Structure 1
Amino acid sequence: MADDGEIANVVDEMDGDYYGRGENDGEVEQEDFDRLRKVTDTSAEHARRGKDIQGIPWDELSITREKYRQTRIEQYKNYENVPLSGEAVDKECKQVEKGGKFYDFWHNSRLVKPTILHFQLRNLVWATSKHDAYLMSHYSVMHWSSLSCNLTEVLNFQGHVAPSEKHPGSLLEGFTQTQISTLAVKDNLLVAGGFQGEIACKSLDRQGVSFCTRTTYADNSITNAIDIYNSLSGGVHFMAANNDCGIRDFDAERFQLVNHFRFPWPVNHTSMSPDGRLVAVVGDHRDGVLMDSQSGKVVGSLKGHLDYSFSTAWHPDSHILATGNQDKTCRVWDVRNVSSPVTILKGNLGAIRSIRFSSDGKFMAIAEPADFVHIYNTAMDYKKRQEIDFFGEISGISLSPDAESLFIGVWDRTYASLLQYNRRHAQSYLDSCL
C-alpha cells in the first residue's frame, strides 16, 4: 500500500494530492460555485420529481450531466502500483447487463460529511441497522440516524483519547490527535485503527473507550483494515491488518492479543469466513491467499489479479469470496476450487476498494474509488447489475445487517453527504414501513 479525485470544473474542489483529477480540471466559476453552495438534502420524493439525487442543478450550470460524466470517465486517474494493470484485464472481464433495480434511492443527507484520510483505504462507513450508520468525519466518529435525522459525535480523536477500563496490555495513557485510517462497527462494538498502528475499542452501549493499544512501532505501521467476527469458539474477535506485514487477532471480550500472523508483504485487507475457518488475506502482492484461521497456515492461493488488492468479502455460505483490486476488477472465487475465478467484474473508473455481500447472500455491492457503486444479483450468476451513478470520492459503503438499506459515504468539498438506498420490495407498502 502507498505510504502516504476534484470533480472537475463544476462539481468539486478536492485536494490535488488525491487521485481522481482530470487533466483539464480547473477552478469553479464563481457563479456556478454560488449555486452549488445552496444545495440541500434530496428525498425519494424529490428524486421522483426529477431532482438530481445530489441536488446538483445541472440545468443552471455550464455543462450537462451527460457531458460531464463522459469527461469524468475519460479523464479520471486510477492509482496503480503496477502500471497499466487496469487496461490489461479488459479481455478477461464479463460484460454484465446494466439495468437491475434492487435498491431504490431514499435520501441524500448533506448534514453528514464523510471524509477520507488515505486515498487507498475506504472502509469508513458501517451500518448497524437500516436506520443507523457510523462514519468518519475528520477526527470524529459520527453516528447518523436516518429515523430521527440526528447526527451525533461518538468519539473524537483530535484531543486525548484514553481507556476508561483496565485491561492487560492496554495503553493507559491513550492517544492524542490520532489520524484514523480505518473503522469497523458490528453490533455494539466499534474498533478504529490509526496511521501509527493505534487501535481503539469502544462499546456503543457504554461510556468511554474500553481499550487502546499500539499494535506496532514500525516506521510504516498504518492500520489498513479491521474485521470484527465471531470466532469458532463463539466469542467476538477482531483482526487488524497492518502495513508492517502483520495480522493481529484480538479477543474482543477480554481485549487480548491471541494470534499474530506474519506475511512477506504489507497486508491491506483481511476477512474471516462466516464459518470461522478461513481468512482471506490480500496486500501489496498480485496474489491473495487463504489462511487457516487456527494454524495460520496458507491453504490456498488466489492468482489472477494484476495489481495490489485492498478489499475482500465473503458470501454468507462461506464458499464464495470476492476480492477487489487496483486493476479495476472484482474477482469472485469458489474457495473449494481456486484454480480460476468464478467471474471477473470490471469497474468504470478505478480500483475496487470496498465489497459487501448482503446478509441473505442475494446481492453483492462493490465500490470504486469514486462515482460508482455496482450491485450484482448473485442468484443470477452476477449477470445483472444495478449501477448507482453520482459524483464524489467514496469513503465507504455498508449494507445494513438485515440487507434493507445501503449507505454510501460521499467525500467532496462541495457535495459531501451520505446516500441511502432502500431495498426494493414487490409490495410497495413495505417502502413506508419502519
Structure 2
Amino acid sequence: MAQRGEIHGLADDYEMNDAEDDMDEEFHGRGGDSESDVEEFMDDSVTDTSSSEARKGKDIQGIPWNRLSITRDKYRQTRLEQYKNYENVPNSGEDSEKECKSTRKGGAYYEFWRNTRSVKSTILHFQLRNLVWATSKHDVYLMSHYSVIHWSALTCEKSEVLDVSGHVAPCEKHPGNLLEGFSKTQVSTLSVKDKLLVAGGFQGELICKYLDRPGISFCCRTTHDENAITNALEIYNSPSGALHFIASNNDCGVRDLDMEKFQISKHLRYPWPVNHTSPSPDGKLIVVVGDNPEGILVDAQTGKTIQTLCGHFDYSFASAWNPDGRTFATGNQDKTCRVWDVRNLSKSIAVLRGNLGAIRSIRFSSDGRFMAMAEPADFVHIFDVGSGYEQQQELDFFGEISGMSFSPDTEALFVGVWDRTYGSLLQYNRRRNYSHLDSLL
C-alpha cells in the first residue's frame, strides 16, 4: 500500500471548477477531521432523516439543496467528471474498463431506513475502509475519531465501547500480552464479530476486547517494522471451531491468532505488503491480496500457494467469500471487483466496475444472495448473485465511505459516511414482499 499518508478530503480528490468552488462555499462536505466546522447549514433544522421523510422528498443526508446554488443532479455529474481515483499503477482504471461486465441497474433489494447524523463515522487512512461492523440488525460498531462507538438502531442510542485516545492496557494475563499496552493508538482497521472486537493500529498494534467482559483482554504489537500499518482484520472460526482472527500488515506479513490461547498460530510472509486477507467459510483456504496486481489463493494449513489470481491492473485492498465457499471476490484500485470460482481459477467469472474509484470494501450477505461493493466515496453497489451479477442496486449519496456491513440476518445494511459536515451512519433495510398477507386484509 502507499506509505502512511493522510486521509484525502473530498476537495483533495479532484480539481474544482468555478461551479464546484461555489458548491464548496455552501455545501461544506469536503472532508477534514474537525467536527467544529458546524457551519450555517448545521443548525437545528438539519436533523436525522427517516424513511418516511425521504419518501416525502427530504434528502436522505439532510442536505438542503433548495438553499444551495447547485442542484443535486448537477453536483452528482460534477463529481463523476472530476473525482480523482487514487492509482498506484498509472491508467489502471482505463485499462480495466474493456473487460467489465455490463449490469442492469434498478434493483430494489434494500431500502433507505434512516440516516443518523449524531454518529460520526471517521477514517484515518484513505485506502483502508473497514471501520463499520454490524453484529445484529440493531447493533453496529464503528470508529469515531479515537473511540469505538456502539450504535443501537433499536433505541437510537450510542455508547463508547473503547477509548484509545489515552492509555490502553490489558487487564487479563496471557502469554505474550503486552501489559504496558499502548498510548493514543491511531486505529487503521477494525473487526467485530459476535462478542469479539479487534482494533489494529498504524504501528502494528492489536487490541482485543470481548464485548461481554470489562476491560481489554489482550494487546500485542505484531511487528516493529518501520512500515507496520495493520491493513485489515478478519475474525473467523477455524476448521476445529476455535475462534481466530487474521491480521494483514504492511510489513508483508499475515498473522493468524488463536483467541483461545491468545497466541500467533501462523505467520505467513509475502514479497509485497498485504492489504487484505479472507479465510474461506470452512477455514481451509485463504485469499491474500496486496501491493501486487496478482492476488493468491493459499492453503490455510501449509501456507502454500494453490493458485495465482491474474486479471487486476493495480493493487487490491478488499476480498470476501460467498458463504457457499465456492466463489469469492477481490476489490482493486483499477475500479473493479472480480469474482472468482475455486473450481476454475484461470480467469475471473465476472468483472464489475464502480463509478468513481477503487473498490475498497466487499461484503456478501450471510445467505449468499447479495454482494455489496463500496467505492471510496458516494456509491455502494449491491449485486444480485443469483442473476450472475447482472442486476444491481446502486446506493447514491455524498461523502467518503468508512465501511459497510450487512447484519448477520441480512435484514440491514449499514454504511458509514465520513464528511466534515454531513458525516453519518446510513441504514438500509431488506425489502420484503409480503403480498401473501394481502388476502388477510
Contact residue 133 and residue 143 of structure 1 kept, 8 A: yes
Q: Which amino acid aligns with 2:59?
A: D
**What do residues 64-116 of structure 1 show as CA deviations (whole Å, max 9, x unaligned)?**
11100000000001000001100111111011000000001000000100000
Q: Which amino acid aligns with 1:82?
A: V
Q: Is 2:240 aligned against 1:247? A: no
Contact residue 266 and residue 283 of structure 1 kept, 8 A: yes
Q: Tell me which of 129, 148, 157 is aligned to 1:150.
A: 157
Q: Is 2:17 aligned against 1:21? A: no
Q: Tell me which of 99, 109, 113 is aligned to 1:102.
A: 109
Q: Tell me which of 427, 435, 438 is aligned to 1:420.
A: 427
Q: Which amino acid aligns with 1:108?
A: N
| Cα distance in structure 2, aligned partners of 1:18 and 1:198 | 31
Closer, same or farther: CA 95–30 of 1 in aligned 2, 3 Å: closer
Q: Tell me which of 394, 404, 407 is aligned to 2:401.
A: 394
Equivalences for 1:57-136 in 2 at 5 Å?
57-136=64-143
Contact residue 8 and residue 126 of structure 2 kept, 8 A: no
1:254 positional shift: 1.9
1:36 positional shift: 4.8
Q: Tell me which of 323, 326, 337 is aligned to 1:316.
A: 323
| Residue equivalent to 1:35 | 41
Q: Is 2:192 aligned against 1:192? A: no
| Cα distance in structure 2, aligned partners of 1:143 and 1:415 | 19
**What do residues 268-312 of structure 1 show as CA deviations (whole Å, max 9, x unaligned)?**
000100011100000000000001000000101110000000000
Equivalences for 1:5-404 in 2 at 5 Å?
20-24=13-17, 25-26=20-21, 28-29=24-25, 34-37=40-43, 38-404=45-411
1:172 positional shift: 0.2
Closer, same or farther: CA 330–19 of 1 in aligned 2, 3 Å: farther
Q: Which amino acid aligns with 2:87?
A: E
Contact residue 365 and residue 410 of structure 2 kept, 8 A: yes
1:18 positional shift: 7.8
Three-state SS of the structure 2 residue aligned to 1:418 is: strand
Contact residue 58 and residue 64 of structure 1 kept, 8 A: yes
Q: Which amino acid aligns with 1:190?
A: L
Contact residue 19 and residue 79 of structure 1 kept, 8 A: no
**What do residues 120-162 of structure 1 show as CA deviations (whole Å, max 9, x unaligned)?**
0000000000011000001100000010111100001010000
Q: Which amino acid aligns with 1:339?
A: S
Closer, same or farther: CA 257–41 of 1 in aligned 2, 3 Å: same
1:57 positional shift: 1.3
Identical amino acids, percent of aligned pairs: 66
Q: Which amino acid aligns with 1:347?
A: G
| Cα distance in structure 2, aligned partners of 1:292 and 1:275 | 12
| Cα distance in structure 1, aligned partners of 2:243 and 2:285 | 16
| Cα distance in structure 1, aligned partners of 2:211 and 2:41 | 39
Closer, same or farther: CA 389–253 of 1 in aligned 2, 3 Å: same
Structure 1: 5+ residue runs without aligned partners?
5-13
| Residue equivalent to 1:406 | 413
Contact residue 10 and residue 400 of structure 2 kept, 8 A: no
Three-state SS of the structure 2 residue aligned to 1:29 is: helix
| Cα distance in structure 2, aligned partners of 1:31 and 1:21 | 16
1:39 positional shift: 1.8
Mean Cα deviation higher: 420-429 or 408-417: 420-429
Q: Which amino acid aligns with 1:29?
A: E
1:20 positional shift: 2.6
Contact residue 19 and residue 78 of structure 1 kept, 8 A: no
Structure 1 runs of 4+ off > 6 angstroms? Answer: none
| Cα distance in structure 2, aligned partners of 1:20 and 1:31 | 16
Three-state SS of the structure 1 residue aligned to 2:40 is: helix
Three-state SS of the structure 1 residue aligned to 2:171 is: coil
Contact residue 26 and residue 68 of structure 2 kept, 8 A: no
Q: Is 2:3 aligned against 1:3? A: yes
| Residue equivalent to 1:11 | none
Closer, same or farther: CA 224–365 of 1 in aligned 2, 3 Å: same
Structure 2: 5+ residue runs without aligned partners?
29-38
Equivalent residue pairs, number: 421
With structure 1 as the length reference, what TM-score do the two structures score? 0.94
Mean Cα deviation higher: 35-44 or 103-112: 35-44
1:335 positional shift: 1.4
Q: Which amino acid aligns with 1:215?
A: T
Three-state SS of the structure 2 residue aligned to 1:86 is: helix
Contact residue 22 and residue 72 of structure 1 kept, 8 A: no
Three-state SS of the structure 1 residue aligned to 2:292 is: coil
Q: Which amino acid aligns with 1:384?
A: Q
Q: Which amino acid aligns with 2:356?
A: L
| Cα distance in structure 2, aligned partners of 1:143 and 1:203 | 13
**What do residues 348-385 of structure 1 show as CA deviations (whole Å, max 9, x unaligned)?**
00000000000000000000000000000001111100
